[in-house]
Structure 1
Amino acid sequence: MATKQKMVKHKTKDTNVTFNASSLNSSVIEKKLFAEREEDGDDGPVVFYCGKCRLTVGDSLSWDGSEDGENQIRLKTVTDNVQFGNESHVYEVNKLSPCLVVDLFCRGCRSVIGLVYTSTPKSMDNKRFTFCLNVANIESYVLGSGTQMLTVEGLKELPVTLEYRGSVDQQLKEMKMLMVSMAQRLEVIEAGLEERSDEV
């Protein structure tokens, strides 16, 4: 009996591990997605990927919102790299709002990256059947945010193109013909020198 109570206690403890507090905040991600885009209009979509194994799990084109208090973002769709857990369990956002949820796992490393609410109180209906990803377990990359550029002056070696390779091949052929020609002339000169030494 004591073992069963320990197991139940342990299971209850694990159910709320999904959204532990982290240094990241869902409002930071939301600001990146929308505030900067409004200011300059240049930011591209954001790609979300597993923080552990770097497999892509979704993108901002399916954005559905964020929950600051629970440190999660909501997406309408995710990639095939996200897998559902086998069983639903109770998750309590607060004492008055118990919910039934199914954990979401990364296909690559099997770490929990979020959950799906399958049953909620009426006040939380907006969360039901959306993919709620834990900000602490994912990373993000804004498409088009790369700033490093390659310049010809910075190259130590020119890239090998077909034209460049053809030019090098032609130069090698010419050098080979020149070497053969010089070797033949050298043979003639050596033969002439040998004849003169024989005559003397």
Structure 2
Amino acid sequence: MASRSSENLDTKRRQRGAESRIDEATRILHVDEDACNSGEDKDDDDGPVVFLCGTCNLPIGDSLSWAGSDNESQIQLKRVTDNVLVGKEQRIYEPKPKHRCLILDLRCKGCQSILGMVYLSTPKALDYKRFTFCFRVQQLDSYVLGSANQEVAAESLPELPLTVEDRGVVEQQLLEMKTLVVSMAQRLEKIEEGLHPDLDESLP
């Protein structure tokens, strides 16, 4: 009994986490749409969102195929990846009283989880959902492209010991630099002598 309640708690936590990530993705998409409509510069906007199966993390689509959302409980995409399987068995679905719909289930190719549905027949109020891929928010995870910001700091890299080969290369470079400095000093002395050839004779 305790294990079942623990599993239910884990499932609820996972669903809440997925909903919050999808909500954030939905917010970003609305910001992008508003920026497009107003003609503003989008250089600082976040990148496209990749939608993943919440169970096995296979990619199922992205925000470039965005078709809309429904009260943040469903998202609609125009196109999906080959990881989404469209069922063949039609069934009746009634999201609200007197809103009977004919749908096909959408399953993940990897884990066979039901991710959402395709509406084949709808009442007039739901016509906007017909023939789009409708996914349940709680069944998805998401990733915003360009959101990675962790870099390897130079201070965190381990200092490697100096090998015999490395030491030989360093010594050769130092010798070449020393030779170049000596050569430049000699040239500078000759140039100075050429500029003041009678300097010693004019001194008392």
Asked if these proteins are the same fold (TM beyond 0.5), I'd say yes
Alignment of structure 1 residues 44-193 onto 2, 5 Å: 44-68=47-71, 71-156=73-158, 171=165
Determine helix, strand or coil for the equivalent of 1:139. strand
Aligned match for 2:30, one of 30, 34, 44: 34
Identical-pair percentage: 48
**What is the Cα deviation at residue 155 of structure 1?**
1.4
Q: Which runs of 4+ in 1 moved over 4 A?
A: 25-28, 36-40
**What is the Cα deviation at residue 30 of structure 1?**
1.4
Mapped to 2, the partners of 1:120 and 1:105 lie a distance apart of 21
Contact 1:27–1:68 (CA under 8 A) maintained in structure 2:
no
Change (3 A) 1:147 1:123: same
Determine helix, strand or coil for the equivalent of 2:61. strand
Contact 2:25–2:144 (CA under 8 A) maintained in structure 1:
no
Q: Which amino acid aligns with 1:31?
A: R
TM-score, with structure 1 as normaliser:
0.63
Contact 1:104–1:115 (CA under 8 A) maintained in structure 2:
yes
Determine helix, strand or coil for the equivalent of 2:98. coil
State the number of aligned residues. 142
Q: Which amino acid aligns with 1:101?
A: I
Q: What CA deviation, in whole Å up to 9, does each residue of 1:120-172 have, x standing for no partner? A: 112211100000011101100000011101232221267xxxxxxxx96x829
Change (3 A) 1:54 1:28: same
Contact 1:48–1:57 (CA under 8 A) maintained in structure 2:
yes
Q: Which amino acid aligns with 1:56?
A: P
Q: What CA deviation, in whole Å up to 9, does each residue of 1:6-52 have, x standing for no partner? A: xxxxxxxxxxxxxxxx5326654311323378587330000000010
TM-score, with structure 2 as normaliser:
0.62
Determine helix, strand or coil for the equivalent of 2:120. strand
Larger mean CA deviation between 32-41 and 134-143 belongs to 32-41
CA RMSD in angstroms comes to: 2.6
Change (3 A) 1:117 1:57: same
Contact 1:27–1:66 (CA under 8 A) maintained in structure 2:
no
Structure 2, unpaired ranges of 5+: 1-14, 36-41, 169-204
Mapped to 2, the partners of 1:41 and 1:92 lie a distance apart of 42
Q: Which amino acid aligns with 1:138?
A: L
Mapped to 2, the partners of 1:117 and 1:28 lie a distance apart of 26
